[in-house]
């Protein structure tokens, strides 16, 4: 991840040098306020996840400063800094789903069948670097990478109304209930990454001289957990869509 960060910084510096002394000329600044919907998910739905039973909206608000640099009549670069909260609260039915839980003070790991409730929260600072194409003076399309520093993060939940086979599918069977004393809990917050890299696609439409609306989709290239974390067998990627309003301040 450090190599990726260095590469992104060098790319930005190289681009800046290419524009010469005029890099800070004709910059357009805007304030952005948005709301995100999405979650952390594997690539494709694995057979061990049978159904998604509930999805609760979280306070996934974002506030940011956008900076646009026109390079020609049609092309430009967009960057900035965004403060974002990306969260998820779901309940799913699983079968033979590998996980680790704590029940009665004892840590158990194996294959779980039953219901799994998870809550994720990530507060981050995001730096995008996007090529921007102007369809007309009011509508811009954007595509490019982003780098996020996750300042605080949590991944907690519990397994309930099912059973855990300790070790493998033929291991000892541990029944899990629905109340706090009989279900199994987990907290993988300490195993989450502090840096995330991904791609962002978006559009921005100015319906007024200063006011606009935007829609973005971001897809993480890196999972939310560190490389050697294998308690959850699938890699979970942050995938979110954001809609919001922008205000041009210059």
pLDDT tens digits along 123-180: 999 999 999 999 998 999 999 999 999 999 999 999 999 999 999 888 999 999 999 8
Average of per-residue pLDDT across 70-97: 96
pLDDT number for residue 168: 86
CATH of the domain at 136: 2.40.160
Question: 166 in a domain, yes or no?
Answer: no
In a domain, 9, yes or no: no
pLDDT interval class at 236 (50, 70, 90)? very high
Does a structural domain hold residue 82?
yes
Residue 4 has pLDDT above 60, yes or no: no
Structural domain harbouring 83: 27-99+118-155+193-227+235-248
> What pTM was computed for the model?
0.86
Give the per-residue pLDDT at 142.
Answer: 98
C-beta of residue 164 within 8 angstroms of C-beta of residue 121: no
Closest among 226, 162, 193, 220 to 36, alpha carbons compared? 220
- Domain annotation covers residue 53: yes
Q: Does the residue 108 lie in any domain?
A: no
Residue 65 main-chain phi, psi, to 5 deg? -115, 125
87-114: pLDDT as tens digits: 999 999 999 999 999 998 899 999 999 9
**Residue 198 forms part of a structural domain:** yes
211-218 mean pLDDT = 98
Considering the domain boundaries, does residue 240 fall inside one? yes
Q: 186 near 218, Cβ under 8 Å?
A: no
Place of tokens 């990530």: 122
- Of 102, 85, 104, 94, the closest CA to residue 34 belongs to 85
Q: Is residue 128 part of a domain?
A: yes
Domains in the chain: how many in total? 1
Q: Which of 22-26, 54-58, 109-113, 204-208 has the lowest mean pLDDT?
A: 22-26
């Amino acid at each position: 991840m450090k190599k990726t960060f260095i590469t992104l910084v060098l790319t930005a510096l190289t681009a800046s040098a290419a524009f010469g002394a005029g890099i800070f000329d004709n910059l357009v600044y805007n304030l952005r306020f948005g709301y995100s919907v999405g979650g952390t998910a594997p690539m494709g739905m694995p057979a061990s996840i049978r159904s998604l039973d509930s999805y609760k909206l979280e306070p996934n608000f974002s506030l940011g400063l956008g900076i646009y640099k026109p390079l020609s009549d049609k092309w430009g670069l967009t960057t900035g800094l965004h403060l974002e909260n990306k969260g998820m609260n779901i309940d799913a039915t699983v079968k033979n789903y590998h996980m680790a839980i704590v029940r009665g003070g004892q840590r158990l790991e194996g294959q779980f069948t039953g219901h799994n409730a998870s809550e994720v929260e990530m507060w981050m600072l995001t730096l995008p670097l996007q090529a921007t194409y102007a369809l007309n003076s009011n509508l811009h399309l954007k595509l490019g990478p982003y780098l996020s520093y996750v300042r605080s993060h949590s991944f907690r939940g519990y397994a309930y109304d099912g059973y855990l086979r300790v070790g493998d599918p033929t291991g000892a069977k541990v029944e899990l209930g629905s109340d706090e004393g009989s279900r199994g809990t987990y907290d993988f917050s300490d195993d989450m990454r502090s840096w995330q890299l991904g791609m962002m696609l978006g559009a921005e439409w100015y319906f007024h001289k200063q006011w606009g609306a935007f829609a973005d989709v971001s897809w993480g290239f890196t999972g939310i957990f560190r490389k050697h974390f294998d308690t959850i067998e699938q890699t979970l990627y942050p995938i979110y869509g954001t809609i919001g309003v922008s205000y041009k301040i210059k």
